[in-house]
Chains A and B, each alone.
Chain A
Amino acid sequence: MKGLHVMTESTTTTAPARISEGSGSTPLLEVRNLVKHFPVRSTGVVRRVVGQVQAVDDISFTVQRGSSLGLVGESGCGKSTTGRLVTRLLDPTSGEVRFEGNDIASLRPKQMLPFRREIQIIFQDPYSSLNPRHTVGSIIGTPLQVHNIVPKNKVLSRVQELLEVVGLNPEHYNRYPGEFSGGQRQRIGIARALAVRPKLIVADEPVSALDVSIQAQVMNLLESLQKEFGISFLFIAHDLAVVRHFCPEVAVMYLGKIVEVADRESLYTQPHHPYTQALLSAVPDVRQAQVGGRRERIRLFGDVPSPIDPPSGCRFRTRCWKAQDICATQEPPLQALANGHRVACHFAAPPTIEDARASQAAAAEAVTLESEGAVADA
């Protein structure tokens, strides 16, 4: 990897002043009580605010230097919004986003500029994330010019180094994104993020739009980049297998809240939140299939409630087989168990076979009720 060494040298010599290093104990990224509500407006001339989509509601987490945090949850749970809040593509409603101790949650665009070099984002869709009218060289060269990272006459050679780093032919700098495959385009997006030599990359489902065979290659690329450059990742995904492979620590989100955070070993073997259990239960298990055994799966019933009008108390209670009266009245706080495992549930416990049966019974009941309702309607 000769490109890597060249890259390191050129940045250390020509880069203008970067943000001062925080002390060793400060985490790279610390998010505290982050909230993002999108106003819902009525249609018409006056457009009053009639509600708030509570996309992200009071979440806190940290990403340590050189480590990675996985953010998992189903579509619409607020994980992508979180990623855009951290990169300040969206403005938080309230809360803190501390990068190396500096709160960037309410910085103006000019003040934000130095942090743009430290925090980068890789997008899910490799098609809409690359400007179809720009050549690859211009796409990857833009950050170099915006931040004056290398002199103008060095931009091209630097772009070619970056292309080599992400495993693309450096001769292709003159081509347009339309001439590349999905996997190659995602590599271009990665090269663009790498151009500023960030400390933190928010990867917003970077492989979920790719073919499975290409997913592995891109994941390997990300992993090697993390090792080579010590980049931390906030890795957003809905695929638990991907996250398990990549992230030492995993947070599970449901309807704008973090419901469980733990290191991967603890989370995958001892999930305490019913929602985490349901998610893990949905992952196909090759070993089990090989011996021909049938697992008792946890079934969820119903749909995710609307984030405009979330359920009172615990947001998961409407779909939870363990729900009691207390779940509707009191919101469970994120409580610490042993070894940093934290969970927000009044009845947190590792899963048992009874959980699966109870959930299936509850799901069956819900289906019956629904069909009866349909009959009654008719």
Chain B
Amino acid sequence: MRWGRARTGEAREGLDPHSSELETEQPVRSIEGRGPWLLAWERLRRDRVAIGSFVVIVLIFLAAIFAPVFTLLTGHGVDTQYRTTGLTPDGLPMPPSAEFWLGTDDLGRDILVRIAYGARISLLVGVVATLITVAIGILVGLAAGYFGGIVDTVLARLVDVVLSFPFLLFAIALVSITGPSLAVAIIAISAFSWAAVARIVRGQVLSIREREFVEAARSLGASDWRIMFVDVLPNVMAPVIVYTTLLIPTVIVIEATLSFLGLGVPPPTPTWGGMLNDAISYYQVAWWFIVFPGAALVITTLAFNLLGDGVRDAFDPGSDRR
């Protein structure tokens, strides 16, 4: 009688709040839990590259939000064409100078001001399209993974179809019907990117669904709705957040691509992709015209990617630390 012996000595110990298991932690008031989110944040905080990238991203956001400040600083309007001061006598763009810090474009407009305003479009599309994408992807992935069966079959096939669609051809066709606009760009991007998110979420849900805490929730009478969003969703958020930070730069590049092809936000609204398109024909005479918008795009994309790497390392320590 193993238990009988244990009982004589430690009869009440199992019920004593200060039993041996807890002795190391004597009454400390207001004990704060260190949850997975907090731990991830603390790891991220020690990652210099990620924090540096985050600072760069914040600066780009500030530039976009306070783009009119650049107008004030330079005294140049965003769409104003400075035909006398901003163009050479031959009608070519002016190189960087005290007047035009990053030079002018083919119509004599200030590139610096246009890059600042272009950041608005890039970030707006990047963030909004990504949020829509992730929201759709989470809903579809959760439903497919959690309900399984016929729901899963249908949704999984839908994901396959969307992923096998040629995106650019579809975007060109869509724009030729609706005409280019910000909303169309966002819709076109979201309609094609959610499938990858759905796939990631579904895979995670399939493994989380089998854990016993889901059974526990069911045995407590929690509804499917509650289990999906309260119990399962927080456990799939780590990879989703990582994917989201990596999706934003991808979407920014896609937006630039669309604008470059004339399928994005129509002129005269400045976009980085549109500026690059304009610059193509001048690359031999006006390097600044193509380099600065391109650099803005590369720096933004790179910062988001590096931050995404840091976020992944923070959520999954030991994944690929040197």
Give A residues with C-beta under 8 Å from B.
1, 84, 87-89, 109, 112-113, 116-117, 119-121, 123-125, 128-136, 142-143, 146-147, 164-172, 174-176, 178-179, 181, 183-184, 189, 192, 196, 214, 216-221, 224, 241-242, 244-246
Contacts and interface: CB of A to CB of B under 8 A. Distances in A.
B306 interface: no
Closest 5 CB pairs of A and B: A216-B6, A116-B221, A133-B234, A175-B33, A220-B14
B48 interface: no
Contacts of A217: 6, 10, 13-14, 19, 21
A220 B21 contact: no
A143 B10 CA distance: 31
Contacts of B35: 133, 135, 176
Chain A's interface: helix, strand, loop or mixed, by majority?
A: helix
B84 interface: no
Interface range on chain B: under 10, 10 to 19, 20 to 34, or 35 or more?
Answer: 35 or more
Given A175-B31, A176-B36, A241-B3, 5 more contacts: A133-B235, A169-B22, A179-B33, A219-B6, A221-B14
A144 B101 CA distance: 64
A171 B3 contact: no
A132 B235 contact: yes
B17 A178 contact: no
A189 B216 contact: yes
Contacts, number: 147
Contacts of A133: 35-37, 234-235
A220 B36 CA distance: 32
A123 B212 contact: yes
Interface of B: 1-4, 6-7, 10-11, 13-17, 19, 21-22, 25, 27-37, 211-213, 215-223, 226, 230-231, 234-235
A164 B17 contact: yes
A133 B223 CA distance: 18
A131 B17 contact: no
A148 B25 CA distance: 33
A131 B15 contact: no
B31 A183 contact: no
Contact of B215 (A123, A143, A167, A224): A123
B3 A242 contact: yes
A117 B221 contact: yes
Nearest to B224: A109
A144 to B, nearest CB: 10
Contact of B216 (A88, A183, A184, A192): A192
A196 B220 CA distance: 8
